[in-house]
Amino acid sequence: MNYGMYTEAGNALIHGVVIAARAGDMDWDRVVEVLTDISTLDGFEEAYDTVVRERVFAMLEKEAV
């Protein structure tokens, strides 16, 4: 899945967040906190970019439908 991260490793990391959010019933605010935390890591600064958040949100909404 392409979440708009700059690397495949970044996309895999964000996909892990989506999986965890689904499994753990994380609310949107918690997901945003996790994305913010990831964005502080070297090489993953784009984790809080709008495109990443939008794609994560879309994946979480898609699962809910």
Q: What is the pTM of this model?
A: 0.91
pLDDT tens by residue, 24-50: 879 999 999 999 999 999 999 999 999
Q: Which residues contact 4 (CB under 8 A, 6 or more apart)?
A: 46, 49, 51, 52, 55
pLDDT tens by residue, 15-25: 999 999 999 87
Q: Where are the domains of the chain?
A: 8-64
pLDDT category of residue 63 using cuts at 50, 70 and 90: low
Average pLDDT over the chain, rounded to an integer = 94
Per-residue model confidence (pLDDT) at position 24: 86
